[in-house]
A and B are shown apart, each in its own frame.
Chain A
Amino acid sequence: MRWRNRGKIPAVVLTIVLLLFLLFPFFVMISTMLKSSQEVYSTPPTWIPKELHFNNFLIVWSEFQLFIFFRSSIIIAVGATILNTLLTVPAAYAVARLRFVGRKLILYLFLVIQMFSPVIVIISLFKIMVHLNLLDTYLSLIIANTVFTIAFTIWMMNGYFKSIPVEIEEAALIDGCSRVQTITRIMIPIAVPGLVTAMIYTFIYAWNEFLFGLTFIQSRPKMPLVLALYNFVGRWSTQWELLTTAAFLAIIPVLVLFYLIERRLVAGLAGGAVKA
């Protein structure tokens, strides 16, 4: 198989060059978060910190109380994940398995609306939240994040349910299981990988979300992490070593989760063209 060995060296070289180029801001992040404040604001700037300052982590955690915003983000993301799952699983099962008028239309609509920008609806959504007295609550963000993830998660779960052989379910029905039992005892356990993907997707979406938080949340302790960091950009404009530290802490959990679902996510977005 000599043909396979061709191009290895150029590939490795190009990989290194491209990674140095594309990961540039993360190198900057790591360099900055390990510096002292004086070093961050010295000219010319330096790449390698003269001495390593790990106490930036302590400062963002204790003085700037980053845990408050971590808590907000976790409440919002977990809430959205739960609400999304409760709505997605039954709906996805129905479109995957049951015959009813409007099934095709529902699927098509879901695929189209998953692409709509939140900005289009933000004005009306803001008014709805005012009317429902939900402004400046976690619930407003839980709902908004659920609404904007649900179309995609139903699509993905639909795919997973459809791939389960009908015979398994039929056998259970013959053995005296009710429809609901076949869903809870057979379909969901088999579709766990898909369900986990959908849940992680929702969690990440809510964790990274910025626009709804910017519009609905006013009081500081309720701010999700991403919004809090944004507000600090102004306030901490002279303290980038702290902002990069906080950014590092905010990115890590999501990065880990993302690696778990990345392949299935790509397959879900590209449809039949890519197999998971």
Chain B
Amino acid sequence: MVETSISLKHKLWNPEARLAYILTLPAVVVLLTFMFYPIGYVLLMAFFKTNKLSRFTGFAGLQNFITEMTDPEFWVITGRSLLWTTLAVFAKTLFGMIIALILNVRYPGRKIARMLFIIPWASAVPISSMLWRWVYHPVYGLLNYTLKATGLWSTPPTWLGYPIPAFTACIWVDIWIGIPFMALVFLAGMQAISEDLYESAYLDGVNWWQKFLFITLPGIRHIVLIATLLSCLWTFNDFNTIYILTMGGPAGATDILITRIYQNAFKWLRFDRAAVMAFVTFVILTVLSIGYARVYFKQERAG
């Protein structure tokens, strides 16, 4: 008994551990103050009544949750968040895969092509979103002009003015920002696959589709998993695109959880509702993050 307590004390408090505590302390204090405490506070807020100054005015128990969950609007927005994430991540994966496959072919100029493909990821998301707002402009925007002039679409919609076109326009910008990361990660994975495999496949007369299905895809499946998880998190969290393009409009048709939390809090001063939505978002993000962390750790050990 005595021995174990000494060794436990030694384990927690030896010169090496002491140094480690000192070195990590500043970062941990900053994170506790500006990350963990705020998260805890907002989760707590979900169980209280609040006034317009976001002060607690009384304990609400589960009342805020009941109010929120019986409001059909809440389910519409949660559903839209999930639809937004699913569709966008699928499209990013698809486009990313196509671009990675193209860049994996050794043609002259592929280094420059790679640099150009990165631009949507490398530029500031808020600024790109503003540019897209101009691109989508119904009268002076070059998108609709080009669609009409080339005959691709003779009557393009007023993109940001109606619910379905606005949702399409927003999700496209989110997809467009997310494609380069997917392409780069997939490409890195493809380049790690042994060339011998492709060479022997070539000698065996395998066509490109079989090559993709039986060599490339199995070779990058871990990478696809981790990149998709990461992309789910980013996509679900995308605030800038929607807020800048439509502010959730028209009539809330493009609001997802993240943008509605912000508007509930800072536009309508409904802090209790914002807190409940933040609670739900927190749960979803935690599940996704833990999934990502587990896969990441597994690969660290394997890699």
Contacts and interface: CB of A to CB of B under 8 A. Distances in A.
A29 to B, nearest CB: 5
A270 B122 contact: no
B154 interface: no
A266 B285 CA distance: 21
Nearest to A251: B123
A123 B56 CA distance: 13
B261 A119 contact: yes
Interface stretch (A52-60, A64-72, A100-108, A188-196): A100-108
Given A41-B140, A115-B289, A117-B239, A271 B39 contact: no
Interface in A89-105: 90-91, 93-95, 98-101, 103
Interface stretch (B27-35, B71-79, B158-166): B27-35
A171 interface: no
Contacts of B249: none
B47 interface: no
Contact of A87 (B30, B227, B261): B30
Interface string B128-148: 101111110101111101100
B87 to A, nearest CB: 18
A112 B283 CA distance: 12
Majority DSSP secondary structure for residues of A touching B: helix
Given A101-B17, A273-B223, A262 B122 contact: yes
B122 A226 contact: no
A134 B77 CA distance: 33
A255 B120 CA distance: 10
B250 interface: no
A138 to B, nearest CB: 16
Contact of A18 (B19, B99, B128): B99
Contacts of A150: 27, 30-31
B34 A22 contact: no
10 contacts: A11-B110, A15-B109, A15-B113, A28-B135, A44-B149, A103-B20, A111-B289, A123-B274, A143-B34, A255-B122
Interface string A6-20: 111001101100110
Nearest to A252: B123
Q: Which of B38, B181, B281 has the most CB atoms of chain A within a 10 A radius of its CB?
A: B38
Nearest to A123: B265
A8 B27 contact: no
Contact of B124 (A87, A121, A226): A226
Nearest to B223: A273
A88 B22 CA distance: 13
Given A25-B128, A266-B188, A210 B240 contact: yes
B215 interface: no
B34 A28 contact: no
B21 interface: yes
A247 B131 contact: yes
A168 interface: no
Contacts of B65: none
A244 B131 contact: yes
A98 B226 contact: no
A254 B223 contact: no
A259 B300 contact: no
A186 interface: no
A90 B26 contact: yes
A267 B226 CA distance: 12
Nearest to B275: A123
Interface in B193-208: 198-199, 202-203, 208
Nearest to A154: B27
B45 A94 contact: no
B154 to A, nearest CB: 14
Nearest to A98: B20
B168 to A, nearest CB: 15
Contacts of B243: 210
Nearest to A116: B285
Contacts of B41: 124, 127
